[in-house]
Structure 1
Amino acid sequence: MKNWITRLMGSADSQAAAADVAAHPDAGAPDAPPDAAQADELYYRWLLGPAGFDAPAETELLILEQVRSLAQNPAVAAELVPRVPELIPKLLRSLRDESVTTGELSRQVAEDVVLVADVLREANSAYYRPITPIKTLDAAIMLLGQNGLRMLLARVAFRPVIRMQDAGFARRAAPLVWNHSEKCAVAASLMAPGLTADIFESCLAGLMQDVGLIVAFRLADRVCQNGKVPKSAAFGAELLARSRALSAVIATHWDFPNDVADAIALAGDPGGSSLAQAVAQGDHIAKLRILIDAGMLSEDDPLVAEGLNSFQRRCLGKLSNLEE
């Protein structure tokens, strides 16, 4: 992955973002989600499901120490996750070229039948809500626009990074974590304009922040060797925090923009950047969406009804029909 994100970063669709903020003046709540710890605890419990067990304290400490140690060896950590498909950087380079036509983009996308399906599904999703179904690739690309296509390609690029083939609990958790990653990326990009954060950087940070968690679950599998993971709430909170730090270290090693890596490391920190706040809010909203869909929270739970402002609740609604 290394340099392609840095080279291919471009400006977000600022005019559309500004219009959205003007229409929703409460979109930029600057504080970290006040109930993030409670949501994290419920999310960790959901993520483990029946695979959680009462582990000895020394087992918990060993896993956490291995995650911390790996964060000090970013080259080793980065080797534990695969690289992105070659087609994605090619397409992103084309998106930086203003002279490239929709037809040319369509021909490049058409090289990958899975990517074609992704683009059509995205254009027909609840996020865009087309009046009539989008059936052609050209129409889908026109609807998504440059920024929408860039964010979709970023999600496609990260899919094999998160959903890698593995064994043990990491294999079971991978699609669940990827579900959160996609939702977090979309939610963070929606929250970005009101926080004056870059939309595409928010999307990237949202996708990247779970990479460390998958690596952490792989380490836990090696330590526990029973397909299970310690279930204590204190361990879960610490594992989520340390894996986020690991994600930031890997992002730096892959030459992500410093702002993106810092936002992952400082998400939820009241003193963090606007990008960090966008990631924190996107992460929180994504977890609430997952917990509601899993039946662990109701739409009128105080975490939702009182913990989110009106714009954040609209964002929560936009996540309801995203493909997992």
Structure 2
Amino acid sequence: MKNWINRLLSGAESQAPQEPGGARAGAALQDDAADEANEANEANTDVLYYRWLTGPAAFDAPPETAGLILEQVRQLAQNPGVAAELVPRVPELIPKLLRSLRDENVTSAELAGQVAEDVVLVAEVLREANSAYYRPMTPIKTLDAAIMLLGQNGLRMLLARVAFRPVIRMHEAGFARRVAPLLWNHSERCAVAASLMAPGLTADIFESCLAGLMQDVGLIVAFRLADRICQNGKVPDSSAFGLDLMAHSRQLSAAIAAYWDFPENVSDAIAQAGNPDGSALAQALAQGDHIAKLRLLIDAGVLPEDDPLVSNGLNSFQRRCLGKLSNLDQ
């Protein structure tokens, strides 16, 4: 996987009326209150998400066990080459196709010919084109028609999802094996939601998709470490541990992305996603991550559709994005 994504994305003020000091202070207080409310909503969602991920596999671990897991995740973030060896590489066909998609002169027939080299990939493209997400008027039965419907950006994002699936959904033992499909569901939804948030934040759509797919790589590595340390198929149930684990795992994901030669702004966005002052790409990723978690919690029956975390925590566009994510598996 190393290098392939990098190749892919090779005086008037003084005359203005002054705002009264009290009004400025009031606006600042309102902004601070809104930021605090958003942070609280995200933290509450993250706690619910961690408890849903762990489910009955959570146990009351000794503090030293939880501390050892977090310390090893931190150490891996300082040695991403070792961490990268814990996840598989992508199929060679995927980077070849993604490079072709950079060429504005490539034809649909040429793309179809490359996709046709992999029967699994053909099935994925046809399934995507016929999904409720795209809502075709009539069933799409040919590869050419499917590629025309998806467009180059849609095809790029689909190929990236296909490339990352074995990275997240690796065959494991213990808790990591149980949680991998759940993390993949989040990765897919995070990638789509982040790409939908990107235009309004002037972030790149495809880079937002890549960041969304990459963010959970560190977490699956962290759960593998937890399996080795706990040796009981379970993980610590502490909410504080869960929040710390997700934060440290995000830094691990960013380190692996940099090691794999992702564009620097993508790896930086993953590292900054928890920072409200991060880049536009980091904000798109953070919003996509939050919306994806809410979607999974609602679908699992943990939250109702009208929960305050949704009705008060999301704006109207984000709520529409939340609804669109429900169609991904159809």
Q: Do both proteins adopt the same fold according to a TM-score greater than 0.5, normalized to the shorter chain?
A: yes
Are 1:236 and 2:226 an aligned pair?
Answer: no
Distance 1:114 1:298 in 2: 36
Higher relative contact order (Cα pairs below 8 Å, separated by 6+ residues): 1
Listed as ranges, the matches of 1:40-79 within 5 Å are 40-79=46-85
The alpha-carbon deviation at position 319 of structure 1 amounts to 0.5
Distance 1:277 1:96 in 2: 25
Are 1:202 and 2:217 an aligned pair?
Answer: no
Are 1:280 and 2:300 an aligned pair?
Answer: no
Give the match's secondary structure for 2:135: coil
- Residue type of the alignment partner of 1:6: N
Q: Which residue of 2 aligns with 1:213?
A: 219
Give the match's secondary structure for 2:269: helix
Are 1:305 and 2:307 an aligned pair?
Answer: no
Equivalent of 2:88 in 76, 82, 89: 82
Q: Which residue of 1 aligns with 2:231?
A: 225
The alpha-carbon deviation at position 127 of structure 1 amounts to 2.2
Q: Which residue of 1 aligns with 2:15?
A: none
Distance 2:107 2:279 in 1: 36
Q: Which residue of 2 aligns with 1:153?
A: 159
Unaligned runs of 5+ in 2: 11-33
Distance 2:105 2:263 in 1: 26
Listed as ranges, the matches of 1:258-277 within 5 Å are 258-277=264-283
String of CA shifts for 1:129-188, please: whole Å, max 9, x gaps.
222222211111001101110111111110111111111100111111000000000000
Larger radius of gyration: 2
CA RMSD, 1 decimal = 1.4
Q: Which residue of 1 aligns with 2:263?
A: 257
Distance 2:268 2:104 in 1: 30
Equivalent of 2:126 in 120, 129, 140: 120
The farther-off stretch of 100-109 and 150-159 is 100-109
Give the match's secondary structure for 1:322: coil
Distance 2:272 2:320 in 1: 25
Are 1:314 and 2:308 an aligned pair?
Answer: no
The alpha-carbon deviation at position 126 of structure 1 amounts to 2.6
Q: Which residue of 2 aligns with 1:39?
A: 45
Distance 1:165 1:74 in 2: 21
Q: Which residue of 2 aligns with 1:166?
A: 172
TM-score (norm 1): 0.92
The alpha-carbon deviation at position 323 of structure 1 amounts to 2.3
Equivalent of 1:294 in 290, 300, 306: 300
Q: Which residue of 2 aligns with 1:8?
A: 8
- Residue type of the alignment partner of 1:308: L
Q: Which residue of 1 aligns with 2:117?
A: 111
The alpha-carbon deviation at position 66 of structure 1 amounts to 0.6
Give the match's secondary structure for 1:177: helix
- Residue type of the alignment partner of 1:9: L
The alpha-carbon deviation at position 99 of structure 1 amounts to 2.4
Distance 2:316 2:199 in 1: 15
Percent sequence identity over matched residues?
81
- Residue type of the alignment partner of 1:252: A
Give the match's secondary structure for 2:114: helix
Distance 2:191 2:35 in 1: 19
Give the match's secondary structure for 1:119: helix
The alpha-carbon deviation at position 31 of structure 1 amounts to 6.8
The alpha-carbon deviation at position 96 of structure 1 amounts to 1.5
Distance 1:71 1:133 in 2: 46
